[in-house]
Amino acid sequence: MLLNEIIDLIPNINKCLKKGKTLIIRIDINSPIVNGKIIDDFRIRAHSYTLRLASDAGARAVVLAHQGRPGQDDFTSLEIHKPYIEKYLERPIKFVDDIIGPEARRQIKELKDGEILLLENVRILSEEVIEKVPEAQAETLLVRKLAPLADYYVFDGFAVAHRSQPSVVGFPIVLPSCAGPVFERELRALGAVFEKRGRGVTLIAGGAKIPDTLKAVEQLLKNGFVEKVAVGGLVGFVFALGKYGVLNSALKQEVEKGGFLPYIERARQLLAKYGAQIYTPVDFAVNQNGRLDVDIYSLAQPPLDIGRSTTIAFKEVIEQSEIVIFSGPMGYIEDERFATGTIELLKAASNRRLILGGGHTIMAAEKAGVLDKAYHVSTGGRAFIQTIGGEEMPAVKALLTSAKKFSL
């Protein structure tokens, strides 16, 4: 079934926007954070539209979202997101340093029409980082404590649609549910692109989501969704090791650091099967008195970007394409010296039908000045990769189940 056909089976947000009714709205405002500060607020901007719809309709909005994962540097309170939401909403919202405790439940009950309450980072709850089937997630404390206080559930977090977690798949089992506008727009845009899949479509894949990217590359090539794939970032390191072997300790150490050495063999198998369609880096940039490009055989320091020769080769691939799907940066874009490869490729891709996926990709596109030139900008990272790879999304399945169970 095509994505557009699937989304037509799920009630849209208008069915849930009723004055005086309490909505639990799952959004995704997980943003790039450096030194405790949000450095790109694209997702917050996108979801502020959803919250404005709820507020303008007189609904009472209870917002669930996350930031980072426990143990990671960007795992923080959502209180720092509050002023950004207020900025784009142009109205105040409430925030509570609680999720399912007495204070959170009290504030939910006391919400007035049109008010918005942002709950604390939902991943503070240990059960939120465990994936189970929707029926099991409906029995979690999160769902059992909050669902009785709500009339409807709205899922708008496309970027977490691949997660079978309580805040994503648990609520649709027990509440009438709707698809939010960001989520609906994502599926319709990707559906329109896939109707034109095939020859002339190139995937530029970077970032650090190794298992998902490998799976997506295989599915996209196998099903003929894309004609060519160019890989950079940590994904490019893995493919380079798969193609050239363990040439030096610097490249191996970067892959080993993330626990991705087992995936080198998988990359090698993909290269053996689709080698003519997969383009890998031939040089990298390192930090040696600034930026220095080094060929793959001479690499002795941690690679931080694709090198000049690789950038030129990838740009040639882009110039031969009609549609470019860009998911994940080519290097450490937080440092301008090592954002060069990503920005140059984005500028080249902006002359084609460009589809952007993932928070860091969006941040790079803003730096490159091409965000407004993109055909579609996806809020998803891993979810985007899985969707273009043709995988079933747990959130979609849960919403379809809810649509059958409840009449809206």
For the chain, the structural domain boundaries read: 3-185+392-405, 196-374
Residues 72-84 have pLDDT tens digits of 889 999 999 999 9
20 is in an annotated binding site: no
CB 27 within 8 A of CB 65: yes
Confirm or deny that 60 is annotated as ligand binding: no
Give DSSP secondary structure letters for 191-260. HHHHTT-STTEEEEE-SS-HHHHHHHHHHHHHTTS-SEEEE-HHHHHHHHHHHH----HHHHHHHHHTT-
Q: Would the annotation count 224 as a binding residue?
A: no
- The answer to whether 68 is a known ligand-binding residue is yes
DSSP 180: -
CATH architecture of 3-185+392-405: 3-Layer(aba) Sandwich (3.40)
Query: Measured at the alpha carbon of residue 116, what is the angle toward residues 111 and 121, in degrees to the nearest 5?
Result: 110
Q: Is 359 annotated as a binding residue?
A: yes
Burial label for 256, CB within 10 Å (0-12, 13-18, 19+), is exposed
- Helices 181-194 and 42-56: angle between axes, nearest 10 degrees: 120
| pLDDT for position 247 | 67
Classify domain 196-374 by CATH number: 3.40.50.1260
Answer yes or no: is 43 a known binding residue: yes
Query: 324 vs 1, 76, 231, 234, 356, CA distance in Å?
Result: 24, 34, 13, 20, 9
379: Cα within 13 Å, side-chain hemisphere: 26
Q: In the 8-state DSSP scheme, what is residue 357?
A: E
The pLDDT value recorded for residue 384 is 77
Backbone phi and psi for residue 252, each to the nearest 5 degrees, phi listed first: -65, -40
Which regions of the chain are under pLDDT 50?
A: none
* pLDDT tens readout for residues 32-60: 888 889 988 989 999 999 999 999 999 99
Closest CA to 381 of 165, 186, 131: 186
CA atoms within 13 A on the CB side of 66: 21
For residue 360, say whether it is annotated as part of any ligand binding site: yes
* pLDDT of res. 305: 96
Task: Confirm or deny that 340 is annotated as ligand binding.
Answer: no
**What torsion do the CA atoms of 124, 125, 127, 129 make, to the nearest 10 degrees?**
-10
Residue 45 marked in a binding site: no
> Rounded CA gap, 184 and 246, in Å?
44
Phi-psi region of 45 (alpha: psi -120 to 50; beta: other; left: phi over 0): alpha
Fold matches, 3-185+392-405 and 196-374: yes
